[in-house]
Structure 1
């Protein structure tokens, strides 16, 4: 059986993988929703034993860019982006994979997240604080850092 992340790469379906759509859906035992962390642990982490971390990180970056550039609604796009980023840097903090800073795409990620924060603020949505906290947590784990040149 092929690794589903590898399959998503070969089929050009990284966006579907990121969202847990179709065959990439992995049910959370407690809630029935897609379990993103289990998807990463089951498919991305094992691939790191077989492939170079540089290759895996390139494909993860490509997955994030596909999310950002998708025509999904702003909430779906950015909630998924945040959750995937959180899992990526969490697994790095647990030494389950080797994350990189993704300096070349952090501006695009932060721009998308800022657009989402503005959207929430304009709606007076209380979720704005939770999103800010999620961004801070990702930054505390080494992500979303813009390095000066």
Structure 2
């Protein structure tokens, strides 16, 4: 394995972390607006949008920072996958939706078991669900992480 591999991985991780932090506020607002419109048939008022924006900024600060910390860590020290942290971000739009009295959506049994707190079925399955612009950074980071992991295991004599 080369230092270039580690440097590329770090660069991809930085790009992905920055993208996640930038996308969280808009994703939070989008989740609130879409679920509220689906329930009421009308766009939310400005007070709801303001609450969603505030929740999105909180998500950026808390979840965005946590994702950034994980991505900055060495891959052998990453105990929580970044997507698991992102799935936990559903609490921010959920709080706004609950405050507006939006009832939970019907979900399949797997979703209910796997994501019990995601009562509005908002959890991103991949980085692109947060923002389509994160598809490529997520793929590049994942591929670089897999490459570095494989190279390290080969260097250690493991298969």
Q: Which has the higher helix share?
A: 2
TM-score in same-fold range (> 0.5): no
State TM-score, norm by structure 1: 0.32
- TM-score when scaled to structure 2? 0.30
Point out the structure with max Rg over C-alpha: 2
Higher RCO (CA 8 Å, separation ≥ 6 residues):
2
